């Protein structure tokens, strides 16, 4: 599938819908780490999803590079400037810049021991969504790192939270899945 970027671009979601057999009134989105960032970004760009789960996201690049474990790498290779030298560039790339447009019910899910994308990132988006009146939840997985699955019980908790959030907004109940 050729997916050109820019104005009038066809997204991956649009391409899958065009193939048929997709219930466009029952779309959900989730992702973790970079995918968590993109999940938070996409709900600020459109309203096509019934619910979203953003796991271990980057929400605000400025506070992220000043709290994450690999801060010298992020500032040197991803931005080329320190946050105080280019604050508008950091904000422009942050899902937090789009929070004013979010209406999608969004759950944030992060490990309390995640030093790669600290839980403060999830807390920022959660509180911003609460201030806007958007239905949201913050799931803090205790003793969990960025992997969210250091133990089998953590992986199970992660999956169950995501499924419960999607079921709450019209997803198929577990009892009806094949």
Question: Is residue 169 within 8 Å of residue 28, measured between CB atoms?
Answer: yes
User: Which residues are known to be catalytic?
Assistant: 33, 146
Instruction: Count the helices and strands in the chain (H runs, E runs).
Output: 7, 4
Query: How far apart (Å, rounded) are the C-alpha atoms in residues 157 and 139?
Result: 10
Sheet arrangement for strand 106-111: 28-32, 51-55, 106-111, 136-141
């Amino acid at each position: 599938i050729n997916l050109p970027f820019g104005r009038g671009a066809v997204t991956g979601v649009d391409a899958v819908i065009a193939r048929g057999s997709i219930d466009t009134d029952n779309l959900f989105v989730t992702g973790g780490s970079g995918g968590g960032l993109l999940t938070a970004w996409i709900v600020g760009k459109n309203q096509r999803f019934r619910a979203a789960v953003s796991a271990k996201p980057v929400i605000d690049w400025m506070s992220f590079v000043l709290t994450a474990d690999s801060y010298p790498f992020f500032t040197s290779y991803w931005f080329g400037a320190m946050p105080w030298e280019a604050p508008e560039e950091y904000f422009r790339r942050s899902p937090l810049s789009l929070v004013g447009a979010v209406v999608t019910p969004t759950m944030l899910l992060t490990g309390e021991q995640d030093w790669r994308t600290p839980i403060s990132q999830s807390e920022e988006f959660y509180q911003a969504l609460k201030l806007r009146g958007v239905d949201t939840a913050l799931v803090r997985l205790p003793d969990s790192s960025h992997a969210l699955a250091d133990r089998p019980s953590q992986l199970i908790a992660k999956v169950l939270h995501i499924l419960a959030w999607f079921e709450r907004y019209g997803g198929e109940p577990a009892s009806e899945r094949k």
